[in-house]
């Protein structure tokens, strides 16, 4: 069963964006970048670290460095279910 983005945000997840700098396998002096985004839990970032482990195990380009940012979009206290709307003139 897949979880929607809204359900993840209500559960405390935020959008994590990471920029990976890695060395080209055939040209070790050349750096390249890769951008990764996923919903993750701060401050532990289990999905980000799982992806870093995958990269180190499965991808030939060795990592040089990783920069990331985390933004919590909404929290449960900010969500309101609106059932109607009144217009006042």
Q: What was the pLDDT predicted at 5?
A: 85
Distance from C-alpha of 54 to C-alpha of 77, rounded to nearest angstrom: 35
Q: Render pLDDT for 54-73 as a digit per residue (tens, 0 to 9).
A: 999 999 999 999 999 998 87
Of the candidate ranges 5-9, 16-20, 33-37, 79-83, the one whose mean pLDDT is the lowest: 79-83
CA distances from 57 to 45, 46, 52, 54, 73 (A): 19, 16, 9, 5, 32
Range of the domain at 60: 5-75
Q: Could you tell me the pTM of the whole model? A: 0.76
Question: Is 13 inside a domain boundary?
Answer: yes
Residue 63 lies in a domain: yes
Read out DSSP for 14-62? Answer: EEEEEEEEEE-SS-TT-EEEEEEEEEE-TTT-HHHHHHHHHHHHH-SS-
Per the structure, the count of domains in the chain is 1
């Amino acid at each position: 069963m897949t979880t929607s983005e809204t359900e993840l945000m209500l559960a405390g997840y935020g959008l994590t964006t990471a920029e990976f700098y890695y060395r080209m396998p055939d040209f070790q002096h050349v750096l390249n970048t890769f951008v990764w985004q996923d919903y993750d839990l701060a401050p532990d970032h289990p999905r980000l670290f799982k992806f870093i482990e995958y990269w180190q195990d499965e991808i030939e380009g060795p990592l040089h460095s990783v920069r990331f940012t985390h933004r919590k979009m909404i929290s449960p206290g900010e969500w309101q279910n609106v059932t109607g709307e009144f217009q006042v003139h």
